Amino acid sequence: MNKSMIKRILDKLEGLRKKRESSWKETVIYIHGISPKGKVKNHDGSYSGLHQTVQQGLEKLEKKRLWPEKYIGVEWGWGTRDPQQSLDRYLARAERKIGEGVLEAVDKQKDWTLNPARLATVGMRKMFLYGVTDIIYYVLAEGEKTVRTTVFNKILSELKNVDASFENLSLTFICHSAGSVIAHDFLYAIFNTQKATSSQSFLPGLKRLRKKAQKGRVRLRRFYSFGSPITPLILRSNTLIKHFAGGKTLDPEQIGILPFEDLKEPRWVNFWEKDDIF
- H or E element at residue 130: none
Buried b (16+ CB within 10 A) or exposed e, 38-75: eebeebeeebeebbeebbeeeeeeeeeebbbeebbbbb
Q: What is the mean pLDDT of residues 209-232?
A: 91
Q: What is the mean pLDDT of residues 254-262?
A: 89
pLDDT at 32: 95
Q: What is the mean pLDDT of residues 194-198?
A: 63
pLDDT at 22: 62
- Name the residue type at position 154: K
Is the pLDDT assigned to residue 241 strictly greater than 80? yes
**β-strand pairing of 169-176 with 25-31:** parallel
Q: What is the mean pLDDT of residues 119-147?
A: 90
**β-strand pairing of 72-74 with 25-31:** parallel
Q: Which residue has the higher pLDDT, 14 or 81?
A: 81
pLDDT tier at 67, thresholds 50, 70, 90: confident
Q: Which residues contact 52 (CB under 8 A, 6 or more apart)?
A: none
pLDDT tier at 137, thresholds 50, 70, 90: very high
pLDDT tier at 136, thresholds 50, 70, 90: very high
Is the pLDDT assigned to residue 225 strictly greater than 90? yes
Q: Which residues contact 55 (CB under 8 A, 6 or more apart)?
A: 64, 67
pLDDT tier at 200, thresholds 50, 70, 90: low
Q: What is the mean pLDDT of residues 180-185?
A: 94
Q: What is the mean pLDDT of residues 90-100?
A: 91
pTM as predicted: 0.85
Is the Cβ–Cβ distance between 53 and 94 less than 8 Å?
Answer: no
Residue 101 DSSP SS3: helix
Q: Which residue has the higher pLDDT, 235 or 46?
A: 46
Q: Which residue has the higher pLDDT, 190 or 85?
A: 190
* Torsion sign across C-alpha atoms 24, 257, 138, 196: positive
Cα separation of 24 and 244, whole Å? 35
Is the Cβ–Cβ distance between 139 and 233 less than 8 Å?
Answer: yes
C-alpha dist (Å) from residue 124 to 15, 20, 120, 129, 132: 56, 50, 6, 9, 10
Q: What is the mean pLDDT of residues 86-90?
A: 85
